[in-house]
Amino acid sequence: MSIHSSLKTKSGNLASHRGVFTREERITKLTEAEKFAPGRSPLGLPKVLSVKVGGGKKEKAAAGDAAAAPAAAGGAAAPKAAAAKAPAPKK
């Protein structure tokens, strides 16, 4: 029997961002934040915020400046690069 396409995961997706922590992970995070004392009952722990670390969006101006700098410095190298990116004609 095959798996439905909506249930498939991308490779490497097992280590993705999780919104739920195990009790041990919550105790570790609370201890680091000094909100959990050793010897305290592990039941009734407060919620722990899970922060998703994202790459963030790059600014368009910074990307435009970075693309313009090699073209200005190379001079004739820019048209060669553009010609190399052009698809080959079909036979």
Q: What is the pLDDT of residue 84?
A: 60
Q: What is the pLDDT of residue 61?
A: 62
Q: What is the pLDDT of residue 28?
A: 92
CA distances from 42 to 1, 48, 91 (A): 42, 14, 71
- Give 67's contacts (C-beta < 8 A, 6+ positions apart): none
Between CA 66 and CA 71 the distance in angstroms is: 9
Q: Judge whether residue 27 has pLDDT over 70.
A: yes
- Confidence band, pLDDT 50/70/90 cuts, at residue 13: low
pLDDT in tens, 39-56: 899 898 888 888 777 766
**What's the whole-model pTM score?**
0.42
